[in-house]
Amino acid sequence: MMNELMIERLKKLGWYHAAHQLDHLLEDASRDNVSYSEFLNTIVLQEIEYQESQQLEKRMKRAKLPYMKTIHDFDFSFQPSISKKG
C-alpha cells in the first residue's frame, strides 16, 4: 500500500522512470542494507539520467539528421590530422 502511494507521488512529480523502478530499487536497498541518503541519491541519479537521455533523444529527433553518428563511427584514417587520443 505504501509503495503504491509512493509510486503515485513519484508520477505526480513527473518521475515516471523512478516510479517504475521503485520496487526493484527498494529490494536492492533492503538486500544491500543501503542508507537512506544512498537510496535517495540512487533514485535521483537514475531519474536524472533517464530524463537527460529522453531529452537528448527528443532533440535528436527534432534535428531530423539524416543518420546517427557517434565518435565511435568517425573515420580517423580519412582525417589523419585528428588524433584518436584527443
Question: For 26-81, how does the pLDDT look when each residue is reduced to its tens digit (9 = 90+)?
Answer: 999 999 999 999 999 999 999 999 999 999 999 999 999 888 888 888 888 888 88
Please state the φ and ψ torsions of residue 83, each to the nearest 5 degrees.
Answer: -95, 140
**pLDDT for res 86:** 61
pTM for the model stands at: 0.73
What amino acid occupies position 49? E
Kindly tell me the sign of the dihedral angle through the C-alpha atoms of 59, 65, 68, 70: negative
**pLDDT for res 34:** 95
**pLDDT for res 32:** 96
**pLDDT for res 18:** 96
List the one residue out of 13, 19, 11 whose CA is nearest residue 46.
Answer: 19
C-alpha cell at 71: 565518435
Run of H or E residues at 24? helix 16-31
